Every structure is written in C-alpha cells, then in structure tokens.
Amino acid sequence: MALAILHSKTVRVKMDGALQAPKDAVLPRLCATERRLSKDPKLSEIYQEELNKLKQSGYVKRILSEQIEQPKETWYLPHHIVEHNDEHRVVFDCSFEYMGQRNAARPGA
C-alpha cells in the first residue's frame, strides 16, 4: 500500500538543469553535525552504526569522488541524527531549500 501511494503521488519533473544544490550548499550543516558529534563520542558511535545499517540494507552506499557522474540536475540532502523514545535514527532533510528551490523529486513538491 505504501509503494502504491508513493508511485501514485510522486511526480517526476524534468528541470533541464534548473535543479542544482551543490555539495557546498550542505557543507555548513555537515560541519554543524560534525561539531555536535565531536562533543559526544557515544552519539558519534551511534550515528556511525545507524549509517552502517542504512548501507547494509542497501538504502545508501558510499561512492568515491571519481565514481560520481555530475548530471545537469543534482541535489545533495543534508542529514543528521535524532533521538526519540530512546531510539536513534538518521534523518535526511528532504525539504532542504537552496537559493529558493526545494528538491522537486519530493512527493507533493
């Protein structure tokens, strides 16, 4: 049912290169996350474990910089870790805005 909703509500829009959020756009958030984690080694360990779970499940994968093909349309998503009810999870900020644009691949965007 979730997949049916996803497929029925997601609209792919051809942007002809207009959708671009470079790595530099998310670096301030990455640096803030790194500062937060450097102050809390246990949280840093939990964050790494959660990222490893995402890798093992196939949701994310690490790629080398030379493997990256830079298409006309790119959108980097900032992420961080949250704790709720004594559970931790990595959250990707899909509503991230850059220069007044939002990720158009987001359902309902």
Using left for φ > 0, alpha for ψ between -120 and 50, and beta otherwise, residue 83 falls in: beta
Q: What is the pTM (predicted TM-score) of this model?
A: 0.63
Structure tokens at 62: 């690490």
Say if residue 39's pLDDT is above 80: yes
Give the whole-angstrom CA distance, residue 25 versus residue 20: 10
How high is the pLDDT of residue 19?
A: 57
Are the C-beta atoms of 47 and 37 separated by less than 8 Å? yes
Q: How confident is the model at residue 52 (pLDDT cuts 50, 70, 90)?
A: very high
Average predicted confidence (pLDDT) for the chain: 80
Distance spanning both ends of the chain, measured CA to CA: 21
